[in-house]
Amino acid sequence: MHQSAFDPNGPATNSKNLFGLPYRVSDADLIVIPVPWEVTTSYGSGTSDAPENILQSSLQVDLHDMDIPEAWKSRIALDNFPVDIYERGQQFNQKARVIAESPDVKGDIEAINNACEEMVKWVYDRSSQLLSEGKRVCTLGGDHSTCLGLIQALGNFNESFSILQIDAHADLRKSYCGFNYSHASVMHHALNVSQVNKLVQVGIRDLCEEEANRIQANAKIITYFDSAYRERLYRGDTWGNIVKEIVSTLGPHVYVSFDVDGFNPALCPNTGTPVPGGLEFQEAIYLLKKVAESREIIGFDISETGNGSIDGNVSARLLYKLANITLHGIKNPARKGHSLYTGAGQPVKPH
Ligand SMILES: [Mn+2]
């Protein structure tokens, strides 16, 4: 359907695209890559169904965005569903569960690590292709490891960038249960991308000794623990002040990695590893809007969404907001020459 025939006030009729929008990958500005993969999920399962769940929930999202005029003109398109990735993921998840439940059985760890590496490479290749066409790219997990290929690809298109990670977990383990590319190690690998100049974590409230030491030792990592800023709030400080501080730690180009378990689990009840505490929806949106007022969002992911209806609903709304602020920014009258989406499609260095 052509954009001129699209009614942004009516019910969604194009059930094949996110939010029922009338755009195709070829004419869209932001491409959402579904990565239905959860091979190393360690607790609850279902996140490989998230892309389909979010698509269905997105059809119920009203398209008026109070921060962005005519947001429905944002050219967002869902990339083809990778059936082979989904099927391989299901097959290897069975094997991984046997190993995770009885660590003395070494089983097929190497085969699983290889399969995970291939998935990361697939995301890297697809992201690189779309970025070279001048598109903005985001991924929809799947578990948190599904965004790594996009972060690696963005390294070829940006001199340097910061990662804002919203998450209950630090995800800094070198490996987990023998798995090198699990959700628990994604930021360990992201820090190996040389263009990543900062990792700013928000919502963290569940971590191991190794991760706590790493945060202490690495000046690139700045962690806003959930308990620490809650205490500031209880003593009378404001979320506005805390967000201002968080944003000030970020460089001009920001990748947002949003693991939905960073939310209060009431908003993500079926995520793989829910943890009490966490951000309320509007606290997170306020943070993202403040980032978009003064920084350029170069890409993002939404990971670990569960397969329940609240889960899909929350992630679909988060996706719409993140997509809109990535494409348009948030107008800040104090900032002159504000123009965010440039469609820059050339890698800064060939790979
Ligand atoms: Mn995570």
pLDDT tens digits for the chain (351 residues)? 566 678 999 888 788 999 999 999 999 999 999 999 999 876 778 999 999 999 999 999 999 999 998 898 899 999 999 999 999 999 999 888 877 777 666 668 899 999 999 999 999 999 999 999 999 999 999 999 999 999 999 999 999 999 999 999 999 999 998 899 999 999 999 999 999 999 999 999 999 999 999 999 999 999 999 999 999 999 999 999 999 999 999 999 999 999 999 999 999 999 999 999 999 999 999 999 999 999 999 999 999 999 999 999 999 999 999 999 999 999 865 544 444 444 445 565 544
How far, in Å, is the centroid of ligand 1 from the Cα of 236?
30
How far, in Å, is the centroid of ligand 1 from the Cα of 259?
5
pLDDT at res. 343: 45
DSSP structure class, residue 182? S
Closest CA to 322 of 291, 283, 280, 349: 291
Q: Are 265 and 274 in contact (CB under 8 A)?
A: yes
How far, in Å, is the centroid of ligand 1 from the Cα of 90?
20
Please give the structure tokens belonging to residue 88: 């391989």
pLDDT at res. 183: 92
pLDDT at res. 338: 41
pLDDT at res. 334: 55
How far, in Å, is the centroid of ligand 1 from the Cα of 19?
26
Domains of the chain: which residue ranges? 3-328
Please give the structure tokens belonging to residue 235: 């003593």
Q: How big is the chain by its Cα radius of gyration, in Å?
A: 19
Note residues around ion ligand 1 (Cβ under 5 angstroms). 144, 167, 169, 171, 259
How far, in Å, is the centroid of ligand 1 from the Cα of 7?
37
How far, in Å, is the centroid of ligand 1 from the Cα of 332?
31
Burial 322-340 (b: 16+ CB within 10 A, else e): bbbbbbbbbeeeeeeeeeb
Q: Are 60 and 313 in contact (CB under 8 A)?
A: yes
CATH classification for the domain delimited by 3-328, as one of 3.40.800.10, 2.60.200.20, 3.40.50.850, 3.40.50.2300: 3.40.800.10
Strand locations in 156-261, DSSP E? 161-166, 196-204, 221-225, 253-259
Helix (H, G, I), strand (E, B) or coil at 258: strand
* Positive/negative CA dihedral, 110, 111, 112, 115: positive
The residues with which 279 forms a beta bridge, in sequence order, are 263
How far, in Å, is the centroid of ligand 1 from the Cα of 292?
22
How far, in Å, is the centroid of ligand 1 from the Cα of 272?
10
How far, in Å, is the centroid of ligand 1 from the Cα of 159?
25
Please give the structure tokens belonging to residue 62: 């009203």
Closest CA to 36 of 22, 23, 54, 21: 54
Distances (CA, A) of 63 to 6, 22, 57, 145, 317: 12, 13, 13, 30, 10
How far, in Å, is the centroid of ligand 1 from the Cα of 273?
9
How far, in Å, is the centroid of ligand 1 from the Cα of 114?
21
How far, in Å, is the centroid of ligand 1 from the Cα of 349?
29
Contacts of 351 (CB under 8 A, 6+ apart): 128, 156
pLDDT at res. 107: 66
Q: Are 92 and 100 in contact (CB under 8 A)?
A: no
